[in-house]
Structure 1
Amino acid sequence: MTILVTGSAGFIGFHLSRRLLEAGRAVVGLDILNAYYDPRLKAARLAILEGYAGYRHAAVDLADRERMPQVFAETKPAAVVNLAAQAGVRYSLESPETYVDSNVVGFLNILEGCRAHPPRHLVYASTSSIYGNHANLPFSVHDAATHPITLYSASKAANEAMAHAYAHLFGIPATGFRFFTVYGPWGRPDMALFKFTDAILKGQPIDVYGEGRMQRDFTYVDDIVDGLVAAIERPPAPNPAWDATRPDPATSAAPWRILNLGASRRVELMRYIEVLEEKLGRKAEINFLPMQPGDVSATEADTAETQAVLDYAPSTSIDVGVGRFVDWYREYYGV
């Protein structure tokens, strides 16, 4: 069973690919190692994956309309996990074109590949930021999420709608996962934990937005991977109880569903920083700043549906998860 993982040299894609390879699966990884953040970190992840006999790499841009069909024709994957995307809420304010190319055009190429060579299951990354300023916490997939407030989240909303159209028209089973603030070893340098750690160890101040009062559902990367692995061989079936007069936003009469992947707990940003200080053995110098455009005050995942469908049970506390990140960071950077 060959599994195509796009974004395999990215943060979550690397962890998923390694988990699958350790389980004896054949993985075709697709990644161009772009320069959104330090390509050397991506290259280091890729070097680990290439040490597995079951790994094959394709340096293909997701938005390449000529080469993407070739990838599907050559590999004919039994399952596809699309994790490649232009990430970052704030960067979407600076470079909107990048998000359309990668997240919309690129996802269309994935769907067309699945149309030509149907896999058993298409699993793809969405985002918790799709809920926008939705005030009902925890966020439920059964509540409408129709008001994204950044282009990044809008591009992910487009992915969910596009996947539904292809599930309806061509019967491609598709599961979209809304990720909640993922962190852990090999994480992205543009994420808060990475930036805070770097600054604190260098004796530099850290910028804390929203006066530190923001709350996030920080989710350890292994818990995210648990959900993805559980989903791969559990494609959705059409919901026989779906009612077009009262449509459920999370399911469909087509083989399509939306699920949350999160820890199901809110943690205030200042508590997150306190745990990091404890693990580093150093205090942070904090520069408090107001909220940034596109930020929301709080996120929390309702994972009841994910638990019911996938037996999903995230278990990593922030004390354990942040500690593992710090251990990795010190070893990788020798500090």
Structure 2
Amino acid sequence: MTRKNSTFYFAERPQGLIVPGKTFKLVESDAPTADDLEDGQVLVEVIYLSVDPGMRSVLYDSRSYVPALALGEKMKGNGIARVLASKSAKAKEGDLVTALTGWTEVAIVGENELQVINLPEGANVTDALGAAGNTGITAYIGLKHIGQPKAGETVVVSGAAGATGIIVGQIAKIHGCRVVGIAGSDDKCRLLVDELGFDVALNYKSPAFREELAKATPKYIDVYWDNVGGEILDECLARAAVHSRFVICGSISIYNSLGAAENKGIRNLIQVLMQRIRMEGFIVFDYRDDYPEARQALGKWLVEGKIKRKETIVKGGIGVVDSTFNDLFAGKNVGKLMVEVKPLQEAH
């Protein structure tokens, strides 16, 4: 019997949040097979799909670090998958890999689009997407090259309870820094302090946020890791120390309104001059040579307990991916957000 395969295709460019069942069209077709493989290709079945804020930018027809998706294309996405068949020396049947599978159940991927998962004993397979995967690698490399935290400095992280922010804060603590997290609920703030070792956590929705930020940064901000953009970035510019480093990694607050007239400029940009701030946009793909170093360090810290993972895994199969995507912008996730496409024990 021919195996079936469900895939999300980009159907309508959204204005604001995506609309489940409308922005993407879920199409069932015959799954690709080993007979369809060409040299250098691998057939995989998807187990977990990564759900990331930056994926929203490919739905907007703009100049970005990832080419915009054309209507009718398969939605882009990274996942954990098991190899079903291979015509590549890089991976063999049965291997678990991270791969650019897109939003689908079964895919053919090129050998340059996958990485065989090799985690230390004691790690979880989902760490290959989260704490020891691109999420953790982003935190490690951005701090290494731009943030450059030093013992005793104050590091502030926005989106601190999200996938990258959680790891950034914990790595900063390993470096001996005082870490202030900014999140969107009191529960997330308690988690950051009580479970993950942040020194202070602030709810940006508090009416007194500006005063609370000032109190939490009496010696000003040496390193600011920005996952959010907008008003929080503005407030942190006002608290910047001389020669501080601002790592601009994400702008989740405006992804759903890119190009809209209501997007306002930064009021405190003058502080970049006044405080001699190094403020740099950061895309992890520019530092691929550092990936092995980052994976090794992150894996070691995980098994030593110096970094704790936090994951939100949504079950329900491929059909829930589009509705889960909006959870990012509603702040429903803690840590890395993934969809379980197929239980690991059922993959074959």
Instruction: Give the alignment's TM-score, normalised by structure 1.
Output: 0.36
Quick check: which one's helix share is greater? 1
Quick check: which one's strand share is greater? 2
Instruction: Give the alignment's TM-score, normalised by structure 2.
Output: 0.35
